[in-house]
């Protein structure tokens, strides 16, 4: 449950800002989660434009999801997580093989940080 909450929080942060590329290993856009996922990756102008468009669409979808009060909170969290995963896969599809390697490491690092912050599942009994 906590992991879903952290994924939701990460998705909301990703969706609330547009993607910024990480040029020469430095992030642009402050605490932008998309930028964190793209850290160390130099994007072409075409890739950046596509990621910006994707981020804007995800943001609009997230706003609509947040505004839907008819949905149970856990269903909303699940849908948010699905949106985040969809965005991650869409970004990955735009990257070269070399960029994907760095991106996948950044995703794994983010997941590890989330687990360290208490987002991991409790041990099975």
User: What is the per-residue pLDDT across 9-60, written as a single tens digit (0 to 9) for each?
Assistant: 454 444 443 333 333 333 333 346 777 889 999 999 999 999 999 988 888 9
Judge whether 88 and 107 are in contact, CB under 8 Å: yes
pTM, entire model: 0.65
Residues recorded for the chain: 125
Q: Looking at residue 3, what is its pLDDT? A: 53
Q: Looking at residue 92, what is its pLDDT? A: 95
3-state secondary structure of 26: strand
Q: Looking at residue 17, what is its pLDDT? A: 38
DSSP H helix total and E strand total for the chain: 5, 0
What CA–CA distances, in Å, run from 64 to 25, 44, 58, 60, 74?
A: 34, 30, 10, 6, 16
Read off the DSSP letter of residue 115.
I
User: What is the per-residue pLDDT across 13-26, written as a single tens digit (0 to 9) for each?
Assistant: 444 433 333 333 33
- Domain positions in the chain are 2-118
User: What is the per-residue pLDDT across 73-95, written as a single tens digit (0 to 9) for each?
Assistant: 999 989 988 988 898 999 999 99
Written as six digits, the tokens of 11 are 């998705």
- More confident site: 63 or 6: 63
């Amino acid at each position: 449950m906590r992991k879903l909450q952290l994924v939701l929080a990460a998705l909301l942060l990703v969706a609330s800002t547009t993607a910024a590329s990480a040029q020469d290993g430095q992030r642009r856009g402050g605490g932008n989660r998309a930028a964190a996922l793209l850290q160390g990756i130099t994007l072409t102008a075409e890739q950046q434009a596509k990621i910006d468009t994707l981020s804007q669409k995800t943001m609009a979808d997230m706003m609509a999801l947040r505004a839907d009060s008819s949905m149970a909170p856990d269903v909303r969290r699940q849908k948010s997580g699905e949106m985040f995963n969809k965005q991650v896969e869409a970004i990955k599809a735009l990257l070269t093989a070399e960029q994907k390697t760095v991106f996948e490491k950044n995703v794994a690092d983010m997941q590890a940080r989330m687990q360290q912050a208490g987002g991991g599942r409790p041990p099975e009994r």
